[in-house]
Amino acid sequence: MKKFRKLLITVLLSAVTAVSSIPAMSVSGAEPETKLIALTFDDGPNTTTTNQVLDILEEYNAKASFFLIGTNINAESAVSVKRAYDMGMEIDNHSKTHSNMAAMSPEDIQAEIAYVDEKVIEITGEPTKFFRPPFIDTSQTMYDAIELPFICGIDCQDYMENVTAEERAQYILNGAKDGVIVLLHDAAGNSQTVEALKIAMPELAAQGYEFVTLTELFERQGETPKRNLLYSQVAKYPCADYELYQTLTSASADKVPLDAAVLEQLGENYAIEVSYNGTANPPVVALQKWSSTPSVWQAIQPFYSNGEKAVFLASDILPALEALDMTYTDLDGITISAYGGEIILSDAKILTKPESSGQIAGDVNQDGKFNLTDIITFQKWLLGSGKLADWKAADFTGDKILNIYDLILMKKALLS
The answer, yes or no, to whether residue 322 has pLDDT greater than 90, is yes
CATH class of 2-32+358-415: mainly alpha
**pLDDT, average across residues 96-111:** 97
DSSP line for 383-396: TT-S--S-GGGG-T
Contact 359, 395 (CB under 8 A): no
Within 153-303, where are the H helices? Answer: 165-175, 191-206, 214-220, 260-266
Label residue 356 by pLDDT band (50, 70, 90): low
The answer, yes or no, to whether residue 15 has pLDDT greater than 80, is no
Least confident range from 126-135, 329-338, 380-389: namely 380-389
How long a stretch of residues is the chain? Answer: 416
Least confident range from 15-19, 219-223, 234-238: namely 15-19
Active-site pick, 185, 254, 399, 406: 185
The answer, yes or no, to whether residue 31 has pLDDT greater than 60, is no
The answer, yes or no, to whether residue 252 has pLDDT greater than 60, is yes
For 59-69, the pLDDT digits (tens) are: 999 999 999 99
User: Rounded distance, CA 126 to CA 78, Å?
Assistant: 14
42 is catalytic: yes
Label residue 9 by pLDDT band (50, 70, 90): very low
The number of beta carbons lying within 10 Å of the beta carbon of residue 149 is 20
For 131-151, the pLDDT digits (tens) are: 999 999 999 999 999 999 999
Active-site pick, 42, 374, 399, 406: 42
Q: What was the pLDDT predicted at 358? A: 56
Within 250-395, where are the H helices? Answer: 260-266, 314-324, 372-382
Q: For the domain bounded by 35-231, which CATH number is listed?
A: 3.20.20.370
Q: For the domain bounded by 243-352, which CATH number is listed?
A: 2.60.120.1070
Q: Domain ranges in the chain?
A: 2-32+358-415, 35-231, 243-352
For 161-184, the pLDDT digits (tens) are: 999 999 999 999 999 999 999 999
**In the predicted model, what is the mean pLDDT of the chain?**
89
* The two domains 2-32+358-415 and 243-352 share their CATH topology (first three levels equal): no
Label residue 339 by pLDDT band (50, 70, 90): confident
**pLDDT, average across residues 300-316:** 94
Radius of gyration of the chain (CA): 24
Strand partners of residue 131 = 93, 150
Strand partners of residue 68 = 44, 93
Question: Does residue 135 come out as left (phi exceeding 0), alpha (psi in the -120 to 50 range) or beta?
Answer: left
What contacts 235, CB < 8 A, 6 or more positions away?
Answer: 178, 179, 221, 303, 304, 305
Q: Cα–chain-centroid distance for residue 266?
A: 25
**Phi and psi dihedrals of 237, rounded to 5?**
-55, 120
What contacts 77, CB < 8 A, 6 or more positions away?
Answer: 44, 45, 46, 47, 50
Instruction: Tell me the three state secondary structure of residue 147.
Output: coil
Better-scored residue on pLDDT, 268 or 42:
42
Within 235-311, where are the H helices? Answer: 260-266
The answer, yes or no, to whether residue 11 has pLDDT greater than 70, is no
What contacts 203, CB < 8 A, 6 or more positions away?
Answer: 169, 173
First to last CA, the chain: 14
**Phi and psi dihedrals of 65, rounded to 5?**
-125, 135
Instruction: Tell me the three state secondary structure of residue 407.
Output: helix
User: Rounded distance, CA 26 to CA 23, Å?
Assistant: 10
Q: What was the pLDDT predicted at 55? A: 98
User: Rounded distance, CA 257 to CA 239, Å?
Assistant: 21
Least confident range from 19-23, 147-151, 207-211, 384-388: namely 19-23
H/E run at residue 4: helix 2-19
The answer, yes or no, to whether residue 1 has pLDDT greater than 60, is no
